[in-house]
């Protein structure tokens, strides 16, 4: 879906605010902001970054940052170049297995923004190589798959610092995946907090009530913002939708709290500079 279509969808669902958190790109923010202005939906800057912490791969969300800050853009360009290089290597691996996908096919199906493994999976489905997205990742694209290629990602501390330098907030995405990865959950959260983590995604479609309560306790303990989101990827994932209703409800007050945290950080920074 285009940024405009996502904002239109958010309005139909009655959402008051939205952040489009594409992986490694901010290309949709300006279009979404323009659409939000027309439709009465607040659009805040957002991004999702894959990061490394020790041996773990985590996803980090950035919110309310200055999306044209030069150092931040330069870092994103490096990630984007790494994505393109990996895509080409994956296509080469598939070609050696007798599966022909041209780079232009991939760019055409992914449209604006970044191309990634879900788009390659969609092409594999379209060519009849696999039947489902899960099968594509299990056989070819996921870690251990026959065409898998790793790519460069920032250490968590560096990614958090980049988001902060751009004036934003750094939030741990879908923490249930961290719990399933086998890492020491509470220890990792504490480590990330020491590196400047601002929030944790508490409200998420697959989080049980019990898990959500545990996250809220952790958020309170570490003075973290309790954020939320749908992780909606469009029709590429059947049965999913934007936040709201039974899927995943995020408190309206959250955006106010996030903006207040930004102001508090700016005030603290200015005070430190004065001292």
Residue 199 is predicted with a pLDDT of: 97
Q: Which two tokens stand for residue 94?
A: 């598939």
Give 251's pLDDT tier (boundaries 50, 70, 90).
confident
Query: Are 3-76+153-274 and 79-141 in the same CATH fold?
Result: no
pLDDT computed for residue 63 by the predictor: 97
Beta strands in 20-95 (DSSP E): 42-44, 46-53, 56-63
State phi, psi for 172 to the nearest 5 degrees.
-75, 125
pLDDT digits (tens, 9 = 90+) for 183-230: 688 899 999 999 999 999 999 988 889 999 999 999 999 999 999 999
Better-scored residue on pLDDT, 272 or 223: 223
pLDDT at 274 over 60: no
Report the 10 Å Cβ neighbour count for 34.
Answer: 14
> Residue 231 and residue 173: Cα distance in Å, rounded?
9
Per-residue pLDDT band for 269 (boundaries 50, 70, 90) equals low
Task: Measure the CA–CA gap between 177 and 226, rounded to whole angstroms.
Answer: 17
Quote the pTM value.
0.86
Q: What are the domain boundaries of the chain? A: 3-76+153-274, 79-141
Phi, psi for 164 (deg, rounded to 5) = -65, -40
pLDDT at 273 over 80: no
Closest CA to 27 of 4, 3, 8: 3
Q: Which CATH superfamily is domain 3-76+153-274 in?
A: Metal-dependent hydrolases (3.20.20.140)
Six token digits for residue 245? 């209703």
**Range with the largest mean pLDDT of 166-175, 242-251, 258-267:** 166-175
pLDDT digits (tens, 9 = 90+) for 14-52: 999 999 999 999 999 999 999 999 999 999 999 999 999
Half-sphere exposure of 12 (CA within 13 A, CB side): 8
User: Which residues have CB under 8 Å from 9's CB, separation 6+?
Assistant: 1, 242
- Residue 114 CA to residue 85 CA, distance in Å, equals 12
Q: Which of 183, 207, 137, 177 is nearest to 50 (CA)?
A: 177
User: What was the pLDDT predicted at 180?
Assistant: 72
Question: Which is more confident, 106 or 114?
Answer: 106
pLDDT tens figures, 68-106: 999 999 999 999 898 899 999 999 999 999 999 999 999
pLDDT digits (tens, 9 = 90+) for 164-180: 999 999 999 999 888 77
Asked if residue 111 has pLDDT above 80, the reply is no
User: Domain 79-141 belongs to what architecture?
Assistant: Orthogonal Bundle (1.10)
Left if phi > 0, otherwise alpha if psi is -120 to 50, otherwise beta: which for 255? alpha
């Amino acid at each position: 879906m285009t940024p405009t279509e996502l904002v239109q969808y958010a309005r139909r669902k009655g959402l008051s605010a939205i952040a489009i958190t594409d992986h490694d790109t901010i290309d949709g923010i300006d279009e979404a902001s323009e659409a939000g202005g027309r439709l009465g939906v607040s659009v805040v800057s957002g991004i999702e970054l894959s990061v490394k912490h020790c041996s773990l791969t985590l996803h980090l969300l950035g919110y309310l940052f200055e999306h044209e800050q030069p150092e931040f853009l330069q870092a994103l360009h490096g990630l984007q170049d790494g994505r393109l290089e990996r895509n080409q290597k994956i296509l080469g691996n598939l070609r050696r297995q007798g599966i022909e996908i041209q780079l232009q096919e991939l760019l055409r199906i992914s449209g604006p923004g970044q191309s990634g493994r879900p788009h390659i999976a969609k092409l594999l489905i379209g060519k009849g190589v696999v039947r489902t997205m899960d099968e594509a990742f299990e056989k070819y694209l996921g870690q251990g798959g026959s065409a898998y290629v790793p790519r460069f990602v920032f250490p968590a501390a560096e990614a958090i610092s980049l988001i902060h330098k751009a004036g934003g907030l750094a939030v741990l995405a879908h923490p249930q995946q961290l719990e399933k990865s086998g890492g020491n959950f509470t220890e990792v959260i504490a480590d990330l907090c020491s590196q400047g983590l601002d929030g944790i995604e508490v409200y998420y479609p697959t989080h049980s009530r019990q898990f959500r309560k545990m996250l809220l306790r952790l958020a309170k303990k570490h003075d973290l913002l309790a954020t939320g989101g749908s992780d909606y990827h469009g029709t590429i994932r059947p049965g999913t939708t934007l936040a709201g209703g039974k899927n995943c409800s995020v408190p309206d007050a959250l955006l106010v709290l996030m903006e207040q945290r930004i102001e508090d950080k700016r005030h603290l920074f200015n005070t430190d500079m004065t001292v």
